Amino acid sequence: MRLVEELRLPSAGSPSVDALELPPAALEAYDKAVREEEGDRNYGDQEIPCHYLGGHAQPIQDPPEWSAALNINGVNTGNRVDWRAPGIREIIATAPDLRLLLQVDSDDLMNVMWGDTGRLYLLMYEADLKAQAYDRAWCVLQCG
């Protein structure tokens, strides 16, 4: 294992990009650029696992920040979430304050498979991170 520093762009659906309120054409161009950059992570026919310490999550589904924000604030995302329920939008609005601590991908070399080629994301609110309240961290699992 080795640590490599690299610049990672947040996905187009991430809370940090949503906060920019880009016009649709700019958001589409940004999304295309990020997807092309992610495509460079393949080695022939084999996808290179995406293990990250910090930075921006590379989601398989919705932004993992959404699931973490909802669960940390007492909303069970194990069932279908009613996005119109009172308070849900307010909780989702806190997602940009969440920080990715660790992303661990399914990896054949490590003999690790999270569901169906999924990823684990460990996130916590920046204020909790500064307060070293690690018991407030949340783990999100996403599968393909």
- Of 133 and 50, more confident: 133
CB 25, CB 18: distance < 8 Å: no
Sign of CA dihedral 39, 45, 50, 51: negative
Span 38-54, pLDDT tens digits:
765 555 556 778 898 99
- Rounded to 5 degrees, φ, ψ at 30 are -60, -45
Distances (CA, A) of 134 to 53, 64, 122, 127, 142: 16, 18, 11, 11, 22
Which domains occur in the chain, in start order?
49-142 (2.30.320.10)
> Residue type at 106?
S
Q: How confident is the model at residue 139 (pLDDT cuts 50, 70, 90)?
A: very high
pTM value?
0.83
